[in-house]
Chain A
Amino acid sequence: MEVNITINGSEHASDVEPRTLLVDHIRRTVGLTGTHVGCDTTSCGACTVLMDGTPVKACTVLAAQADGSEVTTVEGLKGADGLHPIQSAFTDDHGLQCGFCTPGMMLVGASLIAENPDPSDDEVRWAISGNLCRCTGYINIVKAIQTAAARVAESSNGS
């Protein structure tokens, strides 16, 4: 069946089998491999993408269900003026070790700070509670998301 999904601002029209999962569509058909497949059982959140701005587990959404929607993957975070604040904060605060969970963590973090400009430790931990880091690097992940929030708040105050 024909699906038309806007991924990171570009329209992708493709003919997919109904059983194609959104994550496989993104990785194999569109060729964006930043979205990872971890557990493949709706537990780990490595496959997180934003669907119309809302974080979802792309291993548990059919590509057909995303027809007509706007999807943001980790590749879409970077803007014209460089890395997204969440990306530079993960770099600066060592928010990643092996990096496997990082795309999902950053997308959930970006979605959180878009709604909550000053999240507490508990709020960040609650927001990322559907994402697993098997390196257990949560302390710096939480720190990085808060750093990003503070930088976004600072730059919007300054402008």
Chain B
Amino acid sequence: MFPSRFDLVVAQTVAEAVEAKVDAGEGGRFLAGGQSLIPMMKMRVAFPETLIDINRIGGLDAIERANGHLRVGALVRHADVVASDATFGAVASAAPWVADPLVRNRGTMCGSVAHCDPEGDWNSVLFATGADVIAQGPGGERSISIADFVDGAFTSTLGEEELVVGLRIPVPSGRSGGAYLKLERKIGDYATVAVASHLELDDSGAISAAGLALTSVNPINTKVGDAEALMVGQQPSEELFAEAAELAAAAAEPRDDVRGTAAWKRQVVRTYTKRGLAAAAQQAEGS
């Protein structure tokens, strides 16, 4: 298999890439790791007229902490996230479970986020940690909260002339923990079910911030807002997490498919939510 014909623009700067996108219009697509886009082009599900390769742009490959945030550039590969010392909680926990080792060597975190695959892992992590997507267009840079960014399956609110140049994930200042528990049939498969959890504790040990999001059990990654609200202000406990798990199970509308029945997947949501939150709390208490 091979893609349909396209013009290739190899951009050297972000400005050049954005300019090429403006010129290409609707028929233009950015190419970073290409681990989703190239297969889609080979299957002729995607057929951009112009492909704008951003891999040669300097300065987009840093993953680092700055001003209370973890900043992830557009060319940071999943493998770089696995190897990074700057990550924390759910981000560090999810990275080794994205795709397989070879795909992680090429695919980028930002590309995966921008792709908005409804079964992608990263957007759940970004929901749980309350991250922002940084987009650059001809008018400059803007920051979009992940909740405003994700619009649906394979759809985001990114402007036609904008490039995702990075992610900004708030690094908790106090005690915190997080986990990404993913059930998959084999390495490299989509999640059957995955749960991202994130907890921050105040000085009294009560939960001061909570994040919970689900992968592969709804038409798009799902933030479980009512469970998050329930936990804030409470002391971590098995009972509390069991209650949160019920809300998570209620928020999941999985389908019967080759990966399992809907009823079973909902039960996995329940179990993984309890385990994930317990792991997050334990990590926070030890931090």
Residues of A within 8 A of B (CB): 1, 17-21, 24, 40-43, 45, 48, 54-57, 59-62, 64-65, 108, 126-127, 129-131
Contact = CB atoms under 8 A, between A and B. Distances in A.
A39 to B, nearest CB: 10
B105 A129 contact: no
Given A43-B188, A60-B34, A60-B106, A130 B100 contact: yes
B103 A57 contact: yes
A37 to B, nearest CB: 9
Contact of A1 (B8, B39, B41, B100): B8
B42 to A, nearest CB: 7
A42 B31 CA distance: 16
Contact of A65 (B3, B34, B105): B34
A157 B238 CA distance: 53
A19 B6 contact: yes
A85 to B, nearest CB: 21
A18 B102 contact: no
Given A24-B2, A130-B188, A60 B100 contact: no
A41 B2 CA distance: 11
A111 B6 CA distance: 33
B243 interface: no
B10 interface: yes
Contacts, number: 81
A129 B96 CA distance: 12
Interface in B57-93: 79
B106 A17 contact: no
Contacts of B145: none
A14 B212 CA distance: 51
19 contacts: A1-B8, A18-B8, A19-B41, A21-B38, A24-B2, A41-B39, A45-B102, A61-B34, A62-B31, A62-B38, A62-B53, A64-B53, A65-B31, A65-B53, A108-B101, A127-B101, A129-B101, A129-B187, A130-B188
B45 to A, nearest CB: 12
B53 A42 contact: no
Nearest to A104: B102
B220 to A, nearest CB: 23
A137 to B, nearest CB: 17
A56 B106 contact: yes
A54 B78 CA distance: 13
Contacts of B102: 45, 48, 55-57, 108, 130-131
B218 interface: no
Given A1-B8, A64-B10, A129 B188 contact: yes
Interface in B32-58: 34-35, 38-39, 41-43, 51, 53, 55
Nearest to B51: A18
B75 to A, nearest CB: 12
A19 B34 contact: no
Given A60-B34, A127-B101, A130-B102, A40 B51 contact: no
Contact of A21 (B2, B55, B188): B2
Interface string B143-172: 000000000000000000000000000000
A126 B101 contact: yes
Given A126-B101, A130-B188, A64 B8 contact: yes
B5 interface: yes
Nearest to A1: B8
Among all A-B residue pairs, the 3 with the closest Cβ atoms: A130-B100, A18-B8, A129-B187
Contact of B38 (A1, A61, A127): A61
Given A18-B6, A45-B100, 6 more contacts: A18-B7, A54-B105, A60-B106, A61-B38, A65-B55, A130-B103
Among A20, A48, A62, find the residue whose CB has the most chain B CB atoms closer than 10 A: A62
Contacts of B34: 60-62, 65
Nearest to A130: B100
A42 B39 contact: yes
B2 to A, nearest CB: 6
Contacts of A61: 34, 38, 106
A130 B106 CA distance: 13
